[in-house]
Amino acid sequence: MNTIKNIMVCVTQQKTCKRLIKKGVKIRDAHDGNLFVIHVAKEGCHFLNKKEDGDALEFLFDVAKSHGASLTVVRAQDILGTLRDLAVKNEIDLIILGESYENKQEKNMVNMLEESLPDGVGIEIVPVAS
């Protein structure tokens, strides 16, 4: 694998996304890179309407912060387009995503994101069991 300087970890509002941040930290430390943790929420959706959602994002914020990264929350109508734009803006070399419980949906999302990214941007899927 080429040198990886900028890693973007995509999280949802679930505490289990800690595994994604830890994977990003491991890769960042191995390559002396930068880590960007991002959550993109669909515009118009109430993504903090349950206490658990807010608690989970606060938990993930603390995990990111403890590893020298920040958690950015963005609202957007086009989630994939926003992820692509953030990857370009931050000169991302690798995007880390969690494995979906719905494999067909995951494949579609991953494929659509992969097709929209500039050459040289890799995607790594972290299995649910890790």
**pLDDT 10s digits, 57-100:** 888 889 999 999 988 989 899 999 999 999 999 999 999 998 86
Return the number of other C-beta atoms located less than 10 Å from residue 115's C-beta. 9
Q: Is the confidence at residue 122, as pLDDT, over 90?
A: yes
Q: What is residue 31's predicted lDDT score, i.e. its pLDDT?
A: 94
Going edge to edge, which strands form the sheet with 122-126?
70-76, 34-42, 6-10, 94-98, 122-126
* Positive or negative: CA dihedral 37, 40, 46, 47: negative
Q: Where are the domains of the chain?
A: 6-126
- What pLDDT, on a 0 to 100 scale, did the predictor assign at position 15? 82
Q: Topology of 6-126 in CATH?
A: Rossmann fold (3.40.50)
| Average pLDDT score over residue span 38-67 | 78
